[in-house]
Amino acid sequence: MSDSWTCLVTGGAGFIGSNIVDALVEQGHDVRVLDDLSTGYAVQLNPQARLIIGSVEDLNMVRAAVDGCDVVFHQAAHRAVLRSVEHPLATDSANTHGTLTVLDAARNAGVRRVVYASSSSVYGGAEIRPTPESTPLQPKSPYAVSKLAGEHYCRVFTELYGMETFALRYFNVYGPRQRPDSQYAAVIPLFIAALREGRRPTVHGDGKQSRDFTFISDVVAANIAAASAPTEAAGAAYNIAGGDEHSLLDLLEILRRLLGVDLEPEHTEPRAGDVRHTCAEVSAAERVLGWSAQVSFGEGLERTTEWFTSDR
């Protein structure tokens, strides 16, 4: 690829997407964003990016957005496992149909590469940890099924049409701009918000379930790396993760120390569709994409709590 790209970031007004947009703009690329603003926020979008308000489910809208693009970073999705359990049809429409729409429009527009945001949920709580990409996939929620379907579509578009696709299996992304004000919010912003407001954080289950957390700047770097990776590496999926695991109780203890708050959690029933443990084997991304996580869990939590407690 040339040194300067024309890029489309779907879901580019969201948490991950807006951080990718910032990095692309900083590198001098021409950036467009397609977002329906259902969970994204125009106010956090880089002013040098052009916002197109619309859905990835709208073929005509997507066709117009990808016209003339070199690279598409497909981040738009209905994200939460619980949301997909409650609304499986809407999740499938946005994630499976939306991804196919993006791929087909990109193919017809002559886009060279699509970088697709997949998820560790495709493993379904694999017994092998750290979990390599070769592990059998057993998704346990409609969200996970939709993400795996998107991966298959990416692979097929590479094999059938020669369009370069890279699927990145994110493991529990966190960091600045991740919002706590949603019933489907992720655990780290929810814990931080509760502690800052003097409320007991809610822990689903015993809190000993563990996750491989990945700081947002590392996820952004992985997307840039995938956009630049060798053509022969296309059509595959790659784990993007910190490469270690931490229980929710350990996470809560670190956050209590960073925020100077001593509140015990309130335990509730486990959530449907959640897996017990995740931990990624990341050697494929290191070898093929030239990527590895640079931000430790402790440093990432420090940066995240600083962002939540700063004037912004």
Going by their DSSP bridges, the two strands 210-211 and 246-247 should be labelled as: antiparallel
- Residue 2 pLDDT exceeds 60: no
What are the tokens at 169? 């299996």
Domain boundaries, the chain: 6-174+215-241
Average pLDDT over residues 107-123: 97
- Residues paired with 201 in a beta bridge: none
Alpha helix ranges (H) inside the chain? 15-26, 59-66, 81-86, 88-92, 98-109, 142-161, 187-196, 216-228, 248-259, 283-284, 297-309
Q: Which of helix, strand or coil describes residue 214?
A: strand
Per-residue pLDDT of 86-105, as tens digits, reads 999 999 999 999 999 999 99
The torsion angles phi and psi of 287, rounded to 5 degrees, stand at -75, -45
Per-residue pLDDT of 131-187, as tens digits, reads 999 999 999 999 999 999 999 999 999 999 999 999 999 999 999 999 988 767 899
Assigned CATH for 6-174+215-241: 3.40.50.720
Question: In this predicted structure, what is the pLDDT of residue 81?
Answer: 86
Q: What is the pTM of this model?
A: 0.95
Per-residue pLDDT of 220-273, as tens digits, reads 999 999 999 999 999 999 999 999 999 999 999 999 999 999 999 999 999 887
Catalytic residue among 116, 123, 143, 238: 143
Average pLDDT over residues 33-40: 95
> 125 pLDDT band (50/70/90 cuts)?
confident
Mean pLDDT of the chain: 95
What's the alpha-carbon Rg for the chain, to the nearest Å?
Answer: 19
Distance of CA 30 to the CA centre of its chain: 22
Q: From 91, 140, 92, select the one nearest 120 (Cα to Cα).
A: 140
What are the tokens at 295? 């931000």
Per-residue pLDDT of 284-294, as tens digits, reads 999 999 999 99
Residue 31 CB neighbour total at 10 angstroms: 27
Question: In this predicted structure, what is the pLDDT of residue 183?
Answer: 66
Taking the C-alpha atoms of residue 80 and residue 76, their distance in angstroms, rounded to an integer, is 12
From residue 303, give the alpha-carbon distance in Å to each of 56, 108, 212, 219, 295.
Answer: 32, 41, 17, 15, 10
What are the tokens at 13? 């007004």
| Residue 143 designated active-site | yes
Question: In this predicted structure, what is the pLDDT of residue 311?
Answer: 64
> 126 pLDDT band (50/70/90 cuts)?
confident
Question: In this predicted structure, what is the pLDDT of residue 141?
Answer: 94
Question: In this predicted structure, what is the pLDDT of residue 278?
Answer: 93
Taking the C-alpha atoms of residue 120 and residue 153, their distance in angstroms, rounded to an integer, is 17
Q: Which residues contact 199 (CB under 8 A, 6 or more apart)?
A: 263
Taking the C-alpha atoms of residue 148 and residue 118, their distance in angstroms, rounded to an integer, is 7
Per-residue pLDDT of 42-92, as tens digits, reads 999 999 999 999 999 999 999 999 999 999 999 999 988 889 999 999 999
Residues 34 and 10 sit within 8 Å (Cβ to Cβ): yes
Average pLDDT over residues 183-195: 90
Taking the C-alpha atoms of residue 163 and residue 229, their distance in angstroms, rounded to an integer, is 14
